[in-house]
Amino acid sequence: MTTATVLTLAAAAGFVSGSLPFGYLAGKLRGIDIREHGSGNIGATNVIRVLGKGIGIPVFILDLLKGLLPCLLVRQWTAGLDVSPITASLAVILAGLGGIFGHVFTPWLKFRGGKGVATAAGVLLGITPIAMAAALLIWLAFFFGTRYVSLASIAAAITVPLALAVQMQRNHHWDGPLLGFGILIGILVVLRHRANISRLIAGKEPKSGGRKPTTPDGPPEA
C-alpha cells in the first residue's frame, strides 16, 4: 500500500467518523431540530442548554469519541503495515484532523456542524495527552473563573500549540507535523468562535448557568 493511499484512507476514516451529527440526532430523538433552538449549533453545549445534561453529556462523550477512536484505530492499523514511522505518525494526525473537519463541516447537514471543541479534545487525547491535559487545565481555570464556555474553549485551543512547543523544547525534539497540527486546531477553534469573540468584546456573551435559550438567536456555545 502506497504512502498516499494510507494517508488518504486515514483522513477519510476520520472525516466519516467526525461527520456523525450526534447532537442533531439527539434532538431528533426528543422530537426537535436542535438547529432551531438555543444557539442553533449541534454541539454538546447547546444540547445541554436546550435538552439538559442527561442528553447533552452523552452527546459530548460521543463527540469526543468520534475524534479519539479514529486516531487509536489508525495507529493500530499502521502498526501492521510496512510504512515508515513518519507515515504512521502523519496518518494518525490526518485521522484526527479529518475527525475535526468532519464534525465542523458535516456533509449530512449541508456542511454546517459544530465548533469542534469536544471532537478536538478526543483527537488530542489520542495523539498528545500531555497537551490535552494542559488545555483541560486552562479550560477549567477560565470556565470557573469567568463562567464563559466560549472564552474557556478559545483559551484551551490557544494553549494546545504552546503546550506542544514547550514539550518539544524540553525534549529537545521538534516534530513539525505535530506542531503544525496543534496550530491548525487552535486557529480552527478560534475562527469557529468569531461571533463569540465579538460578543465578549461587546459584553453581550452569556455566562454558563444563565437563561436557557429557546431560539437560534440565543446564547452561543463552545
How far is residue 189 from each of residues 107, 150, 153, 200, measured CA to CA in Å?
19, 10, 8, 16
Burial 94-111 (b: 16+ CB within 10 A, else e): bbbbbbbbbbbbbeebee
pLDDT at 39: 84
Tell whether 211 is covered by a domain.
no
pLDDT at 208: 83
Handedness of CA 19, 42, 157, 164 (dihedral sign): negative
pLDDT at 199: 93
Tell whether 207 is covered by a domain.
no
Tell whether 213 is covered by a domain.
no
Please choose, from the candidates 50, 73, 90, the residue with its C-alpha nearest in 3D space to the C-alpha of residue 212: 50
Tell whether 221 is covered by a domain.
no
pLDDT at 220: 38
Tell whether 91 is covered by a domain.
yes
Please choose, from the candidates 46, 60, 59, the residue with its C-alpha nearest in 3D space to the C-alpha of residue 221: 46
pLDDT at 215: 46
Count of C-beta atoms within a 10 Å radius of residue 4: 9
pLDDT at 210: 59
pLDDT along the chain (222 residues), means of 10: 96 98 97 94 93 96 98 97 95 98 97 94 97 97 95 97 96 93 95 94 85 44 44
Tell whether 222 is covered by a domain.
no
Tell whether 185 is covered by a domain.
yes
Domain that includes residue 9, residue range: 3-202
pLDDT at 158: 97
Burial 148-174 (b: 16+ CB within 10 A, else e): bbbbbbbbbbbbbbbbbeebbeeeeee
pTM over 0.85: yes
Tell whether 212 is covered by a domain.
no
pLDDT at 1: 87
pLDDT at 178: 95
Structural domain count, the chain:
1
